[in-house]
Structure 1
Amino acid sequence: MIREVYRKNMAFELTGLYEASTKDQLHNFLIQLQHSSKRFSSTKAPKNWLDAFQLLMQYIDGLKNKKKKVIFIDEFPWIASARSSFLSAFEHFWNTYCTKRNDLIVVVCGSAASFMINKIIKNKGGLHNRITHKIRLMPFNLQEVKQFLLKKNIKLSNYDILQLYMVMGGVPYYLNHIKKGESVAQNIDRLCFSDHGALVDEFNSVFQSLFSNSEVHQRIIRALAKVKKGVSRKKLLEICGIKSGGVFSKALNELTESGFAIQNKAFSKKTKDSLYSLTDEYSLFYLKFMEQHKG
């Protein structure tokens, strides 16, 4: 999406390497810089991220056109490992260089929800209150699912689309596995119940990739799947068997921020507590049907 929107203004793009060393991340940075400009063809890989951003500043300064210039860093959390000092160097780059220019747009993305929420959106350091816009990508609604499948030349009835939605929601990655020529039942069976189905192990994988210490997140999701209506925070703690505290609050907040759960205000005569509900269709389907099949 970012590449499509900013295609004509993309000045520099960097995608982090999964579970790579800082040395490899810096080498990858240099490769992308050399791809962007031949001026850096003989440049050696920077030793640290402060040096790397210094090179990036030199590159941007050399762009003489007056149009908006986009710097896009994808999979930001993969680069910003605990000992990499990437985050502090990025903060310095933003505060000392980017804020002094009116022609720069910096876009950062990441699949690790915990990091993006706590280290970027709720940053209390150099990036505090620096975010101009947040893009919260929500799943497709039913109409958008229909349009998505039509683009793939897959024509299904509204009832069939509803059945698919109850299994995998509106997540494009899941929907992309739907095959033309198979019935809804055949698609679901292949994806969710065959030995090597694309969604068979997705439940554990998605939580481990999105959230650090994802055990608490999974316990909350399992608890929400057991109740048909919204549940209060106090009741949710009881079902989970977890003591109230920062770990639980952080996990619950991350789940609502990421669209797995929703928080609704309950203004009944008996209570004014918020009620939490599970909104992720795949998680509910997995816990109700797939998990017991695997067992």
Structure 2
Amino acid sequence: MFVGRENELRLLKGLFDLKKATIAVCAGRRRIGKSTLIQQFGRDAKTFLEFQGLPPREGISPRDQLNAFSDQLAQQTSLPKLNLDSWYQAFSLLNSIIKTERTVVLLDEISWMAIRDKDFAGQLKIGWDTELKRNTKLILVLCGSVSSWIDENILNSAGFVGRISLKLTPEELSLFHCNKFWGRQAGRVAPNEKLKMLAVTGGVPRYLEEINPNLSAEENIRRICFSKEGFLFSEYDQIFRDIFSKRAPIYKRILFTLVQGSKSLSNVAGLLKRERGGDLSRYLEDLSASGFIAKDLVFEPGKKNTSKFAKYRLKDNYIRFYLRYLEPIKDKIEKGLFRDFAMEGLSEWETIMGLQFENLVLNNIRSVCALLAINMNSVRSAAPYFQRTTQRKKSCQIDLLIETKFTLYVCEIKFRKKISKAIIVEVQEKINRLKLPKGYTVRPVLIYVGELSSGIEEEDYFDRILDFDKLLSNP
């Protein structure tokens, strides 16, 4: 099912108007729909050719990758399968069949193609400069999940300076588009039931495709998570093995430190008993580039620059759900001993759900701004806010702080069965602690799932109160 991605498609289609050969890069999390996006875009071309790298495995060689490329080229064209000696030869052969018509060529999982071949990127550059770029109606799309490889070998490489016309990093689908995966039943399924499902899948299209609208959220989650045959039961090991290979265990250890909430670099280093810089910083950047975590920078209200303080947040709902609930009982699930359960009975369920709901909101800031009638062009910053204790101010943490010119929207994101009036006192205390620039208006906002206690709306404290259903129904 293909939904959303209108902006990405618009940007890709705009490349046809450049009247020259172009290179586009599409990077990001596995299963986020990168390949599907480019395949959809390829429908606008007269010719669409797709080549995929072989997944990493023990003993795989550059020769294996070249043979796979030759196989795919033969299957999609009139060329016979040929033995290729180099990637330059492969790209030259590809160039020989490109005609003077709109053509899109997708090199998918490009870092896999380059396994154990340090000259791959260099030969691609030579092939582009000497042959491929002469085709003025060609769009070459380099796609991959190992974003660190793409950054190092393509985007930040001297060889490709000035050659990349577009870089795309597809994010999770908006809640509005997630809602479409319930099909005709979307209007009959309660928002709370959808939230249970999205607490596992997030807005990842491939995971959303596993939803059976005829089943309840708990039935769906049992089927795809708590069964050894379930798609999401083995998904974690597969994607981390494919992306990070032998380094996967250290990335898992880092992610475990973030399961219970955001942490600073010092917090993560302390929990892992490692130095703050060096490898740890690079590993965190890899996880961020791959779409699993977010580095939330603190924008000081009224100032143009960010502070030096930042926190890392596990932004991927599936990864948190897997590490908290599936990883510890993998053996039981494989033996079929964990099939009948209630979601609310899972340990720390309400706390974890609160973090998952917060992720969904933070991944849909555009929708939040639209519901608050905030023009995105006027937004100076929109992110979680952390204020540390100093001699002059107390610590303060705000789930989402949106700053426009002379206005701060203090957004409290709350998941709770029953939300009491005490939330008004809690939010006001945060505002009291917040160091406010002169002349700024403060507008408290409540974004929630659950039941509001009587009196919250009557108090007229919050400028806006947004329930989860509004996010699901707002484009």
Q: Which runs of 5+ in 1 are unaligned?
A: none
* CA 232–56 in structure 1, closer or farther in 2 if over 3 Å, else same: same
Structure 1: how far apart are the matches of 2:321 and 2:77? Answer: 49
1:132 aligns with 2:165: yes
1:22 aligns with 2:62: yes
Structure 1 residue 148, shift from structure 2 partner: 2.4
Higher strand share: 2
In the alignment, which residue of structure 1 is the partner of 2:382?
A: none
Identity %: 30
In the alignment, which residue of structure 2 is the partner of 1:46?
A: 84
Contact 1:142/1:162, CA 8 A, preserved across alignment: no
1:291 aligns with 2:291: no
In the alignment, which residue of structure 1 is the partner of 2:93?
A: 55
Structure 1 residue 165, shift from structure 2 partner: 0.9
- For residues 112-170 of structure 1, the C-alpha deviation after alignment (integer angstroms, 9 at most, x for no partner) is 34423433333x24224532212212122322111123179896322211111112211
In the alignment, which residue of structure 1 is the partner of 2:267?
A: 235
Contact 2:42/2:48, CA 8 A, preserved across alignment: no
Structure 1 range deviating more: 73-82 or 241-250: 241-250
Contact 2:193/2:217, CA 8 A, preserved across alignment: yes
1:246 aligns with 2:246: no
In the alignment, which residue of structure 2 is the partner of 1:223?
A: 257
- For residues 220-258 of structure 1, the C-alpha deviation after alignment (integer angstroms, 9 at most, x for no partner) is 21111133xx32212221122222333212211122222
In the alignment, which residue of structure 2 is the partner of 1:70?
A: 104
Helix, strand or coil for the counterpart of 1:92?
A: helix
TM-score, structure 2 normalization: 0.54
2:140 counterpart letter in structure 1:
V
What pairs with 1:181-196 in structure 2 (closer than 5 Å)? 181-196=214-229
* CA 155–136 in structure 1, closer or farther in 2 if over 3 Å, else same: farther
1:260 aligns with 2:292: yes
Structure 1: how far apart are the matches of 2:147 and 2:180? Answer: 27
Contact 1:70/1:106, CA 8 A, preserved across alignment: yes
* CA 37–205 in structure 1, closer or farther in 2 if over 3 Å, else same: closer
In the alignment, which residue of structure 2 is the partner of 1:200?
A: 233
Structure 2: how far apart are the matches of 1:294 and 1:199? Answer: 12
* CA 196–28 in structure 1, closer or farther in 2 if over 3 Å, else same: closer
In the alignment, which residue of structure 1 is the partner of 2:413?
A: none
Structure 1 residue 99, shift from structure 2 partner: 4.1
2:235 counterpart letter in structure 1:
E
Contact 1:117/1:254, CA 8 A, preserved across alignment: no
What pairs with 1:122-161 in structure 2 (closer than 5 Å)? 122=156, 124-150=157-183, 156-161=189-194
Structure 1: how far apart are the matches of 2:199 and 2:318? Answer: 7
Q: Which runs of 5+ in 2 are unaligned?
A: 1-36, 302-306, 332-475
Helix, strand or coil for the counterpart of 2:199?
A: helix
After TM superposition, where is structure 1 displaced by more than 6 Å over at least 4 residues in a row? 151-154
Contact 2:265/2:312, CA 8 A, preserved across alignment: yes
Structure 1 residue 267, shift from structure 2 partner: 5.0
In the alignment, which residue of structure 1 is the partner of 2:316?
A: 280
2:38 counterpart letter in structure 1:
I
In the alignment, which residue of structure 2 is the partner of 1:82?
A: 116
2:85 counterpart letter in structure 1:
K
- For residues 35-91 of structure 1, the C-alpha deviation after alignment (integer angstroms, 9 at most, x for no partner) is 4443x34x732222222222222223xx2x3x4322211121221111374322112
Contact 1:154/1:180, CA 8 A, preserved across alignment: no
Helix, strand or coil for the counterpart of 2:72?
A: helix
Contact 1:15/1:73, CA 8 A, preserved across alignment: yes
Structure 1: how far apart are the matches of 2:237 and 2:77? Answer: 41
In the alignment, which residue of structure 2 is the partner of 1:162?
A: 195
TM-score, structure 1 normalization: 0.84
Helix, strand or coil for the counterpart of 2:313?
A: strand
The number of residue pairs the alignment matches comes to: 285
For the aligned residue pairs, the C-alpha RMSD in angstroms reads: 2.7
Contact 1:220/1:240, CA 8 A, preserved across alignment: yes
Contact 1:114/1:211, CA 8 A, preserved across alignment: no
* CA 255–174 in structure 1, closer or farther in 2 if over 3 Å, else same: same
Structure 2: how far apart are the matches of 1:294 and 1:37? Answer: 45
Structure 1: how far apart are the matches of 2:299 and 2:88? Answer: 51
1:53 counterpart letter in structure 2:
F
Structure 2: how far apart are the matches of 1:282 and 1:194? Answer: 16
* CA 252–184 in structure 1, closer or farther in 2 if over 3 Å, else same: same
Structure 1 range deviating more: 27-36 or 172-181: 27-36
* CA 250–187 in structure 1, closer or farther in 2 if over 3 Å, else same: same
1:288 counterpart letter in structure 2:
R
In the alignment, which residue of structure 2 is the partner of 1:177?
A: 210
When Rg is computed on C-alpha atoms for both structures, the one with the higher figure is 2
1:211 aligns with 2:244: yes
* CA 13–259 in structure 1, closer or farther in 2 if over 3 Å, else same: closer
